[in-house]
Structure 1
Amino acid sequence: MTCFFHQFLTINNLIALLTIIIITIIFISILIRLTTDQYPRILIYKDERFYLDPISGEHHPLPQLGTIFLSKKHTVTYQDIQPSTHYLSVIVPAYNEQNRLPTMLDEAIDFLEQKSFKYEIIVVDDGSRDKTTQIALGYVQKYGTEKIRVITLVKNRGKGGAIRIGILAARGEYCLFADADGATKFSEFEKLNHFIQERRKSYKESIAQRSLFRTFLMWGFHFVVWLLTVKTVRDTQCGFKLFPRTVAQILFTHTHIERWAFDVELLLLAERLQLPIGEIPVEWTEIEGSKIVPVFSWIQMGIDVTLIFWNYTIGAYRYPKQPYEKIYGIIMQQPLL
């Protein structure tokens, strides 16, 4: 047996094996590059281009999604995006969040109602099977469609896909996406707003309260992210991010990943475009009912990060290029039967 392995593990055999592996990797990379859409194909169904006014019972077209895109133009450009009418748009992706959403919305509205600027909250129900939409529409009925709108997705997209549709329907000069669980106190918006206005350097600390096991998994994930993709941000997964509207539209119409690791691709694009990025400490508390499944979800995110790294490295995915004229691959569909 020892003699057999000695014969097999000769220098020539090892070189041949290594050559086969390299050729296989090159072949697979070429195949992926030739068969992968370099820019994302954004799927938006007809029913997702309107919001419901629960008081009148009427459906109204959403900005961009329900007006310009309904014109059936073959090419949509950033110049087509309508001017902002609000200071802040808050995008809240929600999947089966009937229990946690009210606490988050109550806190956000209490905070925003004290401000002098115009705001809107867009709840994007990501194909929930509970009463998430009905709960959110109760807030619309109380505060009106100028302040709160609900987009109910025909089909589950994942957190990144839900946020993208909310961003495209936003009217704010600035876009903030916030998790529906309320893990981050909404008053932390002041810190983000201060940075984005003053362009000051960010803090390096983070204030978080999460379980030891979850923290251990997060450290491992962050190491993989740092090694393969994003270098300037330590916690890429914080569900509380603020963007200027034009930047948000550029980034979210060029991301391919729609599920948990979408933040990584988002920040990778921002780094490549040399956009100012700041990371500041926010108060974050782990809330019961998380949709992330320990171990399994982190493995899936690790796979997604590896795919992001590989696809951009081989040119299967393309970075945005100035002047950012096209919103690539937006597809309008009729509702699913």
Structure 2
Amino acid sequence: MMDEALEFLDDKQKKNPSYSYEVIVVNDGSTDKTSEVALEYTKKYGSDKVRVLTLEKNRGKGGAIRLGMFVARGQYILFADADGASKFSDLIKLEKLMSEMRNSENMAVRSMFRTFLMYGFHFLVYFLCVRGIKDTQCGFKLLTRDAALLLFSNLHVERWAFDVDLLYLAQRFKIPIGEVAINWQEIEGSKMIPVWSWLQMGRDLLLIRLRYVLGAWRINTDIKKLK
């Protein structure tokens, strides 16, 4: 993912010298060599283009992404899974969507079992939390800086179902949401355990719905106080 992303962004900057970018790698408390490998890119491209954040303890995907969002400096902020399941060049489609806001379906290639679980999960998402979104879990989302600050400041779920919490909040704030077709493929070695992870997310969906309805989770709507 890093080679593909940096090659794409560098090429874009060469074509448009006024274009700037940064890549933030968040290591969610892993014991592998993620930070060491990422720091090699910092040495090669400079700390203004590649920054590495390492959490001492695992906080979950949502927690790691939240940290990245809060330290990001760009006008538009993209978060993407590090496994390379999506093509980084599809960023062009998301950028175009920011101005056109047209809906589409993801061009995804998944196993039959994973597809079955996905449809069951999407039914629960539609029934309990978020409607009008075909794929809430795609790990390739682009946000404006203001939207990212507002949403991640109010985010309560830090693990697999954080995307649902994020989109639920976006709809509560009436932030425009759109989907585009991207190329996506299932990558072997994913940390998500199909059955157990989906059960955890199902539990989180119920908690998201109940806690917001009962007022256990409060929402801060004043973005000026968050800056």
TM-score range, shorter chain: over 0.9
Higher strand share: 1
SS of aligned partner of 1:281: coil
1:202 has 2:202 as partner: no
Q: In the alignment, which residue of structure 2 is the partner of 1:105?
A: 2
Amino acid at match of 2:225: K
Q: In the alignment, which residue of structure 2 is the partner of 1:313?
A: 213
Residue 143 of structure 1, aligned match among 45, 66, 69: 45
Amino acid at match of 2:115: T
**Residue-by-residue CA offset, 1:79-135 (whole Å, 9 max, x unaligned):** xxxxxxxxxxxxxxxxxxxxxxxxx00010111111131000000000010111000
Whole-Å Cα distance in 1 between the matches of residues 54 and 179 of structure 2? 31
Whether contact under 8 Å (2:23, 2:50) holds in the other structure is yes
Whether contact under 8 Å (1:139, 1:148) holds in the other structure is yes
Aligned-pair CA distance for 1:137: 0.4
Aligned-pair CA distance for 1:319: 2.8
Aligned-pair CA distance for 1:230: 0.4
SS of aligned partner of 2:154: coil
- Once the two structures are superposed, the pairs formed by residues 171-186 of structure 1 within 5 Å of their partners are 171-186=73-88
Whether contact under 8 Å (1:140, 1:148) holds in the other structure is yes
TM-score, with structure 2 as normaliser: 0.95
Whether contact under 8 Å (1:158, 1:259) holds in the other structure is yes
Amino acid at match of 1:324: I
Q: In the alignment, which residue of structure 1 is the partner of 2:159?
A: 259
SS of aligned partner of 1:154: coil
Aligned-pair CA distance for 1:256: 0.6
Whole-Å Cα distance in 1 between the matches of residues 220 and 177 of structure 2? 17
Q: In the alignment, which residue of structure 2 is the partner of 1:19?
A: none
Whether contact under 8 Å (1:140, 1:149) holds in the other structure is yes
Whether contact under 8 Å (1:311, 1:317) holds in the other structure is yes
SS of aligned partner of 1:150: strand
Structure 2 runs not aligned, ≥5 long? none
Residue 274 of structure 1, aligned match among 148, 169, 174: 174
Amino acid at match of 2:7: D
Q: In the alignment, which residue of structure 1 is the partner of 2:225?
A: 326
Whole-Å Cα distance in 2 between the matches of residues 191 and 325 of structure 1? 30
Whole-Å Cα distance in 1 between the matches of residues 156 and 225 of structure 2? 16
Q: In the alignment, which residue of structure 2 is the partner of 1:163?
A: 65
Aligned-pair CA distance for 1:246: 1.1
Amino acid at match of 1:189: L
Whole-Å Cα distance in 2 between the matches of residues 142 and 240 of structure 1? 25
Higher helix share: 2
Whole-Å Cα distance in 2 between the matches of residues 246 and 277 of structure 1? 14
Larger radius of gyration: 1
SS of aligned partner of 2:223: coil
Whole-Å Cα distance in 2 between the matches of residues 226 and 200 of structure 1? 21
Amino acid at match of 1:294: P
Aligned-pair CA distance for 1:154: 1.4
Whole-Å Cα distance in 2 between the matches of residues 173 and 305 of structure 1? 31
Whether contact under 8 Å (2:101, 2:177) holds in the other structure is no
Q: In the alignment, which residue of structure 1 is the partner of 2:204?
A: 304
- Once the two structures are superposed, the pairs formed by residues 202-221 of structure 1 within 5 Å of their partners are 202-203=103-104, 205-221=105-121
Residue 90 of structure 2, aligned match among 188, 192, 200: 188
**Residue-by-residue CA offset, 1:226-246 (whole Å, 9 max, x unaligned):** 000000211000000000011
Residue 294 of structure 1, aligned match among 169, 194, 203: 194
- Structure 1 residue ranges (4+ consecutive) displaced by more than 3 angstroms after TM superposition: 325-328
- CA RMSD of superposed structures (Å): 1.2
Whether contact under 8 Å (1:269, 1:320) holds in the other structure is no
Structure 1 runs not aligned, ≥5 long? 1-103, 329-337
**Residue-by-residue CA offset, 1:203-228 (whole Å, 9 max, x unaligned):** 2x221001000000010000000000
Whole-Å Cα distance in 2 between the matches of residues 163 and 128 of structure 1? 14
Whole-Å Cα distance in 1 between the matches of residues 57 and 135 of structure 2? 29
Whole-Å Cα distance in 2 between the matches of residues 320 and 269 of structure 1? 11
TM-score, with structure 1 as normaliser: 0.65
SS of aligned partner of 2:164: helix
